[in-house]
């Protein structure tokens, strides 16, 4: 039995209109399914349902609008299926483009902010420690819970905007203290080499965590320092290969000053990461066999931050990418603006790099070439692209991606 406030009941009874009543029914149904006995207030939401997957999602959103619903908390939007700033990149059917644009417009009509990014934590305003939010988009969920210390369960399409409209979410899962305790220790002390492994190391550890931990919250020990972009790489990889919603990195993330704090005083079992395990994870993220022709390079999944754009530009220098392949850099509008102000956009475009905003190259039809091999520095992109795009993938460091972009063939980074 769910304990509802008078305001909850009024919304459920239709006193705020049919759209709000529909959203409230969904939130209550989710609470019942998750075993919650009450709802809690949320301060923000992030919506994944604005990515077009078919007419059902569009019908759902339009029904909410027609029912008079609007979001009740600040709400950002995930990537869509179109790049509105670079529409010429779209390679798909015109009817799908029209439906995708209608879906985008519908979510804006609900009062959502047209941020169109899978990395809302890179925006100027982001949740603070302890805030209850309703975020969808798997990598964003892990980052919010782990790095920011905000609290969100793993929300998906439909429930995300229902929570945003009602301002309420089930008091269950990762919203609760008991749901956030580590149940397994991931020991990387035998393979951690400081900055030597770069972002690739964090992505490979994340892939192993997602693959092997299921929904169990892990606590990683042995990492001494980490940037937000490295933690982003770990979060995205873990959320792609599995169902992880929170990773404690002991000594770094806010709820894990030590292992005892992360595990609630318990002593969880340990998985020791070996070099062989990292090599196996790398192999699982690279489907291409030797001899494949490199046709595309895609970086920025999740969306590149300004620091990552700057690093890419630094590595490329004054060189031009090969005429034999396409190089895509996915980022959000906020980071793009920062890059433009720093003179990086014009410089990279002159070197042959194509910027992608509002969407992602594995989520919609942008890649011109699918007959060869694609290269990426993103474990998430490498995990999803083979099935989504029917393309073979090589997962590598950003250094290797840049060198390969210049030569037109798969390269290892220069030492």
262, part of any domain: yes
- Rounded CA separation 139/238 (Å): 8
Q: In terms of residue numbers, what domain contains 148?
A: 6-178
- Rounded CA separation 157/168 (Å): 16
- Rounded CA separation 141/174 (Å): 10
**Location of structure tokens 């919609």:** 364
Q: Is 373 left (phi over 0), alpha (psi -120 to 50) or beta?
A: beta
The distance in angstroms from the start CA to the end CA of the chain is 62
- Rounded CA separation 384/186 (Å): 24
Q: Is 130 left (phi over 0), alpha (psi -120 to 50) or beta?
A: left
Say if residue 17 is in the same domain as residue 30.
yes
**Location of structure tokens 């969920």:** 141
Q: What is the pLDDT of residue 292?
A: 82
Give backbone dihedrals phi and psi of 34, rounded to 5 degrees, phi first: -90, 0
Greatest CA separation found in the chain? 66
Say if residue 134 is in the same domain as residue 21.
yes
Say if residue 191 is in the same domain as residue 171.
no
412, part of any domain: no
* CB 150, CB 125: distance < 8 Å: no
Say if residue 277 is in the same domain as residue 148.
no
226-243-269-36 Cα dihedral, nearest 10 degrees = 110
Say if residue 142 is in the same domain as residue 10.
yes
156, part of any domain: yes
Low-confidence ranges of the chain (pLDDT < 50): 414-415
Q: What is the pLDDT of residue 194?
A: 81
Say if residue 221 is in the same domain as residue 327.
no
Return the closest-CA partner of residue 273 out of 234, 236, 240.
Answer: 234
DSSP E strand boundaries for 159-216 = 168-170, 184-187
Say if residue 101 is in the same domain as residue 210.
no
Residue finishing a domain among 229, 254, 283: 283
Residue finishing a domain among 133, 155, 178: 178
Residue finishing a domain among 178, 205, 232: 178
Q: What CATH number does the domain containing 363 carry?
A: 3.30.499.10
Say if residue 31 is in the same domain as residue 174.
yes
Provide the angle, in degrees to the nearest 10, between the axes of the packed helices 228-241 and 198-213: 30
92, part of any domain: yes
1, part of any domain: no
Say if residue 228 is in the same domain as residue 335.
no
413, part of any domain: no
Say if residue 89 is in the same domain as residue 217.
no
Q: What is the pLDDT of residue 195?
A: 66
Q: What is the pLDDT of residue 414?
A: 45
398-400-406-407 Cα dihedral, nearest 10 degrees = -160
Q: What CATH number does the domain containing 67 carry?
A: 3.30.499
How many independent structural domains does the chain possess?
3
Say if residue 32 is in the same domain as residue 108.
yes
Say if residue 23 is in the same domain as residue 139.
yes
């Amino acid at each position: 039995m769910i304990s509802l406030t008078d305001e909850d009941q009024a919304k459920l009874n239709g006193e705020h209109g049919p759209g709000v009543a529909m959203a409230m029914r969904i939130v209550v149904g989710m609470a019942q399914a998750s075993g919650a006995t009450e709802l809690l207030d949320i301060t923000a939401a992030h919506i994944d349902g604005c990515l077009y997957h078919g007419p059902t999602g569009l019908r759902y959103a339009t029904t909410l609008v027609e029912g008079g619903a609007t979001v009740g908390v600040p709400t950002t939007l995930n990537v869509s299926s179109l790049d509105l700033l670079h529409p010429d990149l779209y390679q798909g059917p015109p009817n799908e483009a029209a439906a995708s644009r209608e879906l985008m417009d519908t979510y804006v009509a609900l009062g959502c902010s047209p941020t169109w990014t899978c990395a809302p934590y890179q925006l100027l305003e982001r949740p603070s420690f302890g805030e209850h939010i309703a975020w969808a988009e798997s990598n964003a969920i892990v980052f919010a819970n782990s790095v920011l210390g905000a609290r969100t369960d793993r929300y998906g399409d439909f429930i995300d905007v229902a929570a945003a409209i009602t301002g309420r979410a089930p008091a269950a899962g990762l919203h609760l203290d008991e749901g956030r305790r580590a149940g397994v220790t991931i020991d990387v002390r035998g393979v951690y080499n400081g900055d030597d492994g770069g972002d690739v190391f964090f992505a490979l550890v994340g892939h192993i965590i997602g693959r092997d931990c299921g929904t169990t919250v892990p606590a990683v020990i042995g990492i001494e320092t980490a940037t937000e972009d490295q933690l982003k790489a770990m979060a995205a990889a873990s959320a792609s290969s599995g169902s992880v919603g929170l990773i404690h990195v002991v000594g770094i993330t806010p709820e894990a000053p030590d292992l005892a704090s992360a595990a609630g005083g318990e002593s969880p079992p340990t998985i020791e990461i070996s070099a062989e395990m990292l090599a196996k994870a790398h192999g699982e993220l690279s489907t291409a066999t030797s001899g494949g022709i490199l046709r595309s390079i895609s970086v920025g999944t999740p969306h590149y931050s300004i620091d990552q754009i700057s690093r890419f530009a630094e590595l490329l220098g004054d060189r031009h990418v090969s005429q034999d392949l396409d190089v895509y850099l996915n980022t959000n509008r906020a980071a793009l603006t920062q890059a433009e102000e720093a003179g990086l956009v014009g410089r990279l475009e002159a070197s042959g790099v194509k910027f992608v905003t509002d969407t992602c190259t594995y989520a919609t039809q942008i890649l011109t070439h699918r007959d060869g091999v694609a290269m990426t520095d993103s474990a998430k992109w490498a995990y999803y692209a083979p099935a989504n795009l029917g393309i073979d993938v090589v997962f590598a460091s950003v250094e290797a991606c840049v060198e390969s972009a210049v030569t037109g063939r798969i390269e290892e980074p220069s030492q």
